Amino acid sequence: MNSEQVKALLERVKDGTLSLDDAVKALKHLPYEDIGYATLDHHRSLRQGVPEVIFCQNKTLEEISGIIQRLRERDNPVLATRVPPDSFEALKKLYPDAQFHERSHVITLGKDLEAGGVGNVLICCAGTSDLPVAEEAAITAQFTGSNVTRLTDVGVAGIHRLLGRLDVIRAANVIVVAAGMEGALASVIGGLVEAPVIAVPTSVGYGASFGGISALLTMLNSCSAGVTVVNIDNGFGAGFAASLINKRISSTRTE
């Protein structure tokens, strides 16, 4: 239940179209609900403007489905990340009206991602192999209310590909950069723009990349000002933070 829904419910109590007892029933699961295998934070929408997101890794199909059902019962849109492949196929049958983003293993329900949002978050990835993480960031930013632009396969091995898109890069309020291997792309972009850059090291690369640690260390040691780093493969964290920054910038510009 978000803030607008709470206001509408209280207005109904005020004008007499909803009894006090029915209002208490509607609000009884705030701020959280214990369903045994999970404690759902129904207060998240009021605090952050976005419902609790389901991190599905290591959860069973029954647990994922049960959490989705409880969130939908309260008219919350659903964002589920890191959905296991076997659960992905089963959930398609249970929720045919959901959107299944197979590349990123993300499911969205009750939210039209194409409806548009505010501002402009740019999602860049160094190579096509980084797309699963980049797409997780892009879908998260869209789900949380931001317009998203995507720029794919612009890694430093062919720097001309990046320099040819400076107009797109410099038009963004916030830039998310997903890169594996040595992770240099974030530093390069950080030196070309005034917008904040959120770097996402990916686990893509040959043996000496150590599952993304090489990219993580490169990004943490960036000499470009304005580069912030999230954990390896954390597209969700990058997309969420980018959207928060983007919406603050957009609201300031419209005041």
Complete DSSP assignment for 63-129: HHHHHHHHHHHTT--EEEES--HHHHHHHHHH-TTSEEETTTTEEEES--GGG--EEEEEEEESSGG
Domains and CATH numbers, the chain: 31-109 (no CATH), 113-250 (3.40.50.1970)
At residue 57, does pLDDT exceed 70? yes
pLDDT at 32: 67
In degrees and rounded to multiples of 5, residue 102 shows phi and psi of -65, -35
pLDDT at 129: 95
At residue 30, does pLDDT exceed 70? no
pLDDT band at 222 (very low <50, low <70, confident <90, very high): very high
At residue 106, does pLDDT exceed 60? yes
Q: How many CA atoms lie within 13 A of 101 on its CB side?
A: 24
pLDDT band at 229 (very low <50, low <70, confident <90, very high): very high
At residue 1, does pLDDT exceed 60? no
At residue 35, does pLDDT exceed 70? no
Instruction: Provide the Cα torsion 152, 155, 160, 165; round to 10°.
Output: 40
Q: Cα separation of 144 and 122, whole Å?
A: 14
At residue 19, does pLDDT exceed 80? yes
CA distances from 146 to 12, 225, 240 (A): 31, 24, 10
Q: Cα separation of 27 and 214, whole Å?
A: 48
pLDDT band at 92 (very low <50, low <70, confident <90, very high): confident
More confident residue, 253 or 67: 67
Average pLDDT, the chain: 88
At residue 99, does pLDDT exceed 90? no
More confident residue, 123 or 66: 123
Q: Cα separation of 239 and 123, whole Å?
A: 8
More confident residue, 243 or 14: 243
| % of the chain at pLDDT higher than 90 | 58
pLDDT at 12: 86
pLDDT band at 113 (very low <50, low <70, confident <90, very high): confident
pLDDT band at 196 (very low <50, low <70, confident <90, very high): very high
Give the residue-averaged pLDDT of 50-60: 89
pLDDT band at 167 (very low <50, low <70, confident <90, very high): very high
Strands across the sheet with 174-179, in order? 146-152, 118-125, 174-179, 197-201, 227-229
pLDDT at 180: 95
pLDDT at 93: 86
pLDDT band at 123 (very low <50, low <70, confident <90, very high): very high
More confident residue, 33 or 92: 92
At residue 68, does pLDDT exceed 60? yes
Q: Indicate if the alpha-carbon torsion angle 144, 67, 105, 55 is positive or negative.
A: positive
